[in-house]
Amino acid sequence: MAIIVHHLENSRSQRILWMLEELGLDYEVRRYARNPRTMLAPPELKRVHPLGKSPVIEEDGAVIAETGAIVEYLVERADGRLGPPGHRPSVLRYRHFLHYAEGSMMPPLLALLIVGRLGLLGRPARKPVQGMLDVHLDWLETELAERDWFVGDCFTAADVMMSFPLEASVQRGGLDASRPHLMGWLNRIHARPAYARALERGGPYAFA
Amino acid sequence: MAIIVHHLENSRSQRILWMLEELGLDYEVRRYARNPRTMLAPPELKRVHPLGKSPVIEEDGAVIAETGAIVEYLVERADGRLGPPGHRPSVLRYRHFLHYAEGSMMPPLLALLIVGRLGLLGRPARKPVQGMLDVHLDWLETELAERDWFVGDCFTAADVMMSFPLEASVQRGGLDASRPHLMGWLNRIHARPAYARALERGGPYAFA
């Protein structure tokens, strides 16, 4: 039976479609639209998982949430493909980025979004929050100066995890051509055929 | 050689000391104090890792950052102790909470902190952000109605990961006796001898 992906438009779940395309696994997409006023996920998603968030996948009766956990599940499901290359430092780097993407990089991006919604009221917080994000972008820029992909010479699931925070950084975090290694990496991921196929399956995506 | 833990006061890194105590591994603590005005980590931490965050551990020349990645490293280092029990649904739950603690629960707590610093200006954002956190607290309360620990009948590293977001929720997220299962779980973790030993090693901790 195919894996079911509960996919919210313009969201973290785009990565799961991409991951499935990279691995060539069979899947079915259930699409959800955001509330056009609040931009939040619709209540239907709460019927799938009480947190009401996307992505969530289902397979053989198991409901799996949380992007990092889903990505680990899919790597295992594909006998380790797109997992870390075998040597020790790569395993450590892989694990780091798998947790880092959502654990460290998304929080300042969420904070920027909230502060941005406050308009003028949020202005005093904008600079310090942008500063928090800049520390990440500066570090990531130096990391990619030495290698094409986040873990090493090969594309891995860590690159899939990192895509959404970096795409969101272009959209609202000030990431631009002044950080050429990061922009080069974004060009490389967007040029992958599986990325393009995932966009076709998922529908409109404002971040690519 | 002992594992070196770079420990920032009143921070996520308290979990790493606790984890090491639970596993009975040998470690050395390097303490860092927050800047008393900004409450941010001191610049010395940037010498350990460019992100300048805590926790970071060092062993055999490897520098490992990101709480979830450190916890996975320590479980592996201890031959799988405190990792998931062997059956499939537990493995999935374990992985979920390992990513969820920082990836889903901490972002609204960070947002609450930032919105709180804005004082009156941040007031319009306080209610929606608290609402985001309440969805998590409500769900977690039902999860612990069925079991003593997050993964199942046994204490695991997933409980260690969940401690900081739930302690922070008591401090600034409105978690109180109206959610008795979560408060019961907090009492259970705080009663563990290893938790108490980690407090002694780490110094003052405002969240326990």
* Structure confidence by residue, pLDDT tens digits, A62-104: 999 999 999 999 999 999 999 998 888 999 999 999 999 999 9
Interface contacts (A, B; CB < 8 Å): 129
pLDDT above 70 coverage of chain B, percent: 100
CATH topology of domain B3-81+194-202: Glutaredoxin (3.40.30)
Q: How far is A195 from chain B (nearest CA, A)?
A: 23
CATH number of B88-192: 1.20.1050.10
Task: Give the start-end residues of each E strand in A62-156.
Answer: 62-65
CATH architecture of A3-82+194-202: 3-Layer(aba) Sandwich (3.40)
Q: How far apart are CA A4 and CA B177, in angstroms?
A: 38
pLDDT bucket at B122, cuts 50 / 70 / 90: confident
Same fold, B3-81+194-202 and B88-192: no
Contacts of A28-31 spanning 24+ positions with Cβ under 8 A: A28/A2, A28/A3, A28/A4, A29/A5, A29/A201, A29/A202, A30/A4, A30/A5, A30/A6, A31/A7, A31/A202, A31/A203
Q: Cα dihedral angle (A21, A25, A31, A36), rounded to 10 degrees?
A: -40
Residues A87, B53, B61, B1, CA torsion sign = negative
Q: How far apart are CA B125 and CA B164, in angstroms?
A: 23
The answer to whether B103 contacts A98, with C-beta atoms less than 8 Å apart, is no
Q: Does a cis peptide bond (omega within 30 degrees of 0) precede residue B193?
A: no
> What letter represents residue A68's amino acid?
G
B118 in helix, strand or coil?
A: coil
- Residues of A within 8 A of B95 (CB-CB) are 66, 68-69, 72-73
| B132 in reach of chain A (CB within 8 A) | no
Domain range annotation of chain A:
3-82+194-202, 88-192
Strands in B62-65's sheet, in edge-to-edge order, are B27-32, B3-8, B56-59, B62-65
ipTM of this complex prediction, to 2 decimal places: 0.95
| A68 in reach of chain B (CB within 8 A) | yes
Which among A67, A69, A92 has CB closest to B62?
Answer: A92
- Residues of A within 8 A of B47 (CB-CB) are none
Residues 145-184 of A with CB under 8 A from B: none
pLDDT of residue A180: 98
Phi, psi of A123 (to 5 degrees): -55, -40
pLDDT at A118 over 90: no
